[in-house]
Structure 1
Amino acid sequence: MLGRPPSCASQGQGELRRDLAEALAEAGRALPAGRLARLGATPEVHHGLRDPQAPATGQKPSAPQAPVTAQKPPPAPGNARKPAPQPATGQSRGAAGQTAAGTQPTVPPSYRIGPQDTLLITVVDEAELTGKFSVDADGMVSYPYLNRVRAAGMTATELQNYLVTQLKAGYLRNPQVRVDVDTFRSQSVMIVGEVRQAGRIPMTGPTMTLLEALVLAGSPTAKASNEIIVRHRGVDGKDPEEIRVNRRDLELGKSDVVLRDGDLINVPTAASFFVDGMVRNPGTYTLEPGTTVQQAIALAGGLTDRGSNRGITATRLVNGKTTEVPLRLDDKVQANDVIRIRQRFF
């Protein structure tokens, strides 16, 4: 038996329901969730259809997340990279070389090169001809292209001009040369006496002071005198010169002496004297230049309760003979004096 065909009314209702569902779906996609909530609707599409961008039912929409970007860790303290130095502008290599070579040597113009000195020779743009060269015992220097060159007895400027002339003769078109003395070993002074390392001391430069020489000699010993004698040798027919320096003034920077090649420095043993008799601390004391009898008594601690400042005598060597001489308080004490302080009677 054939079924009854659907009526026209049923077909119209089905089409109406489909149109309504599509309209609701379009409305759900077009309106925001808050607007739908106020209208009493949900973002879900009716009749089983759902907005793919809407959150699931019963879940709150999460806040939008900011995009995550990779961050570099901060540099460790003290390891910050320093900017690379920028090369100087406005100077070419050749110009800089000519400036360095064109200046005069730093050694005094009168200094004469000697054996054992070390020379610093610079030729612009010529690495083979630039370097340190020692002056041999015979005063000669072994130099590229020129073989053996005599340097002893010449100043740095004279040797510089000589090298320019020789290199220009057949090797370089316009040589830029500079000659300096790197180490000074040809000049020295002699130090003797009460120092820790007596002997010959090479000068550290074209000039050297007395204080520098004493430091290189290990400083004076405890027995050293406070007076140092410097003897300059005669130069150009002049007589030798002797200079006496107070060591305390030297150490305090109040005085100093510029040494010359061949100078003799004598640090003598300190002279002494002896105080005996009615003083608090009898004994031997270092004699300072100009020490008086009264100062000698003070060094010995002063007089005792029974000591007298009258009738003071000293046993002294006079003309090779031991003699007892009377002393006053303002008399000068001499080396090896034996001073006796008498006892007062009342």
Structure 2
Amino acid sequence: MSLARYKPVTALALALSALVGLSGCTSYAPAPKAFHEATIQPYRLDSGDRLRVTVFEQPSLSNTYTVDQAGYISFPLIGQVTARGQTLTGLSGAIASELRQGYLRDPDVSIEIDRYRPVFVMGEVGRPGQYSYVPGMTAQNAIAIAGGFTARGNQQNVDVTRKINGQVFTGRTTISAPVLAGDTIYVRERLF
């Protein structure tokens, strides 16, 4: 048997394997439905959020509290309270419920965000890093704060990494898409 007969088959096999390998480098998983729905859901607290908690007629309990790395705030009288994943309404209800357990008769607790956790802008931007989040921020706003696109930056869409219900997802979105506190925005290099 002659090896010349197998050269076209070998060349075809190498070309197909190279194509499959390259397609894996350029592909990405589209963002799941929950990724986009998270932008219209009530705000969920996480590490780094600073909260202004007011307990009506209790100035010694009213203060600012930061959600720690473990997802808790340390509150006077009741100790550690789970904040990660809670809405502001849910957390105020949890604090009021704990305070009712022998500390206050009918506590009136309200919570506001004093400072949101930051967003991170990476890749082809002038000054990659951590930046303050502002409600209503889009990827384009975050990129502008980070010094804008570099000459090589892809200005059509970005990859956003977001934590949803304890799971981390990355999805490709347009630069006009809203971002959430804690998101990481990555500007890829354009091909041409």
Settle same-fold status: TM greater than 0.5.
Answer: yes
Match among 218, 226, 230 for residue 147 of structure 2 = 218
Once the two structures are TM-superposed, the CA of residue 183 in structure 1 deviates from its matched residue by: 0.8
Q: Distance in 2 between matches of 1:189 and 1:214?
A: 10
- For residues 189-244 of structure 1, give each alpha carbon's deviation from its aligned partner in whole angstroms, at most 9, with x where no partner exists: 44211x22123x345145521232012212234x245624212458689x854235
Alignment check: 8 A CA contact 2:119 2:185 kept: no
Q: After TM superposition, list the pairs within 5 Å mapping 1:233-272 onto structure 2.
A: 233=161, 241-245=171-175, 256-260=176-180, 261-268=182-189, 271=192
Residue aligning to 1:136: 68
Once the two structures are TM-superposed, the CA of residue 116 in structure 1 deviates from its matched residue by: 1.5
Q: Distance in 2 between matches of 1:205 and 1:143?
A: 26
Once the two structures are TM-superposed, the CA of residue 267 in structure 1 deviates from its matched residue by: 5.0
Classify 1:229/1:265 alpha carbon distance in 2 versus 1 (closer, same or farther; 3 Å).
farther
Aligned residues: CA RMSD: 2.9
SS in 2 for 1:259: coil
Once the two structures are TM-superposed, the CA of residue 136 in structure 1 deviates from its matched residue by: 1.4
Match among 225, 231, 239 for residue 159 of structure 2 = 231
- Segments of 5+ residues of structure 2 without an aligned counterpart are 1-39
Match among 209, 215, 218 for residue 138 of structure 2 = 209
- For residues 96-150 of structure 1, give each alpha carbon's deviation from its aligned partner in whole angstroms, at most 9, with x where no partner exists: xxxxxxxxxxxx8622111121011011111101111111111121211112222
- Segments of 5+ residues of structure 1 without an aligned counterpart are 1-107, 246-255, 272-346
Residue aligning to 1:52: none
Residue aligning to 1:120: 52
Classify 1:220/1:232 alpha carbon distance in 2 versus 1 (closer, same or farther; 3 Å).
closer
Q: Distance in 2 between matches of 1:173 and 1:217?
A: 49
Q: Distance in 2 between matches of 1:109 and 1:258?
A: 12
- For residues 238-259 of structure 1, give each alpha carbon's deviation from its aligned partner in whole angstroms, at most 9, with x where no partner exists: x8542355xxxxxxxxxx2212
Residue aligning to 1:164: 96
4+ residue segments displaced more than 4 Å: 233-237
Q: Which has the larger radius of gyration?
A: 1
Residue aligning to 2:122: 191
Once the two structures are TM-superposed, the CA of residue 180 in structure 1 deviates from its matched residue by: 1.6
Q: Distance in 2 between matches of 1:140 and 1:220?
A: 37
Alignment check: 8 A CA contact 1:220 1:267 kept: no
Q: Distance in 2 between matches of 1:151 and 1:225?
A: 37
Identity percentage over the alignment?
26
Higher strand share: 2
Classify 1:180/1:109 alpha carbon distance in 2 versus 1 (closer, same or farther; 3 Å).
farther
- For residues 21-76 of structure 1, give each alpha carbon's deviation from its aligned partner in whole angstroms, at most 9, with x where no partner exists: xxxxxxxxxxxxxxxxxxxxxxxxxxxxxxxxxxxxxxxxxxxxxxxxxxxxxxxx
SS in 2 for 1:165: helix
Amino acid at match of 2:186: I
